[in-house]
């Protein structure tokens, strides 16, 4: 869990700002997009310690493949923007 890897004050503040995740994301089909038509570079950043999904066929790698983009690795877990912000920023700049 990402909160276990964050500094306590940062984890506490972040948790207090979170809101429930809408359930419709799991029920409604999202229309596919062609990343090439967006007019901006597209990449996919993967946390090297993200265990929210199991590795393998059903892991995070498949999402980059579905977009047809290369995955960029970054240090951190599922919420690396809170626990590893510098590494996340560096990965975004490389992407």
Q: What percent of the chain has pLDDT over 90?
A: 11
pLDDT of residue 45: 92
Q: What angle do CA 51, 57, 63 make, to 5 degrees?
A: 75
**Do 85 and 47 contact (CB within 8 A), yes or no?**
no
Residue 38: is its pLDDT beyond 80?
yes
pTM for the model = 0.64
**Domain locations in the chain as residue ranges:** 2-28+40-94
Report the distance separating Cα 91 and Cα 17, nearest Å.
Answer: 25
> Does 4 score more than 70 pLDDT?
no
Using the predicted structure, report yes or no on whether residue 95 has a pLDDT greater than 80: no
pLDDT digits (tens, 9 = 90+) for 7-37: 788 778 877 887 787 787 778 887 878 888 9
Instruction: Please report which helix (H) or strand (E) contains residue 44, including its range.
Output: strand 44-47
């Amino acid at each position: 869990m990402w909160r276990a890897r964050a500094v306590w004050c940062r984890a506490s503040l972040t948790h207090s700002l979170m809101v429930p995740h809408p359930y419709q994301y799991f029920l409604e089909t999202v229309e596919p997009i062609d990343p090439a038509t967006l007019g901006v570079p597209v990449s996919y950043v993967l946390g090297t310690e993200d265990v929210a999904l199991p590795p393998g066929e059903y892991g995070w790698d498949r999402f980059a493949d579905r977009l047809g983009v290369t995955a960029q690795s970054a240090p951190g877990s599922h919420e690396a923007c809170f626990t590893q912000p510098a590494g996340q920023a560096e990965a975004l700049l490389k992407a």
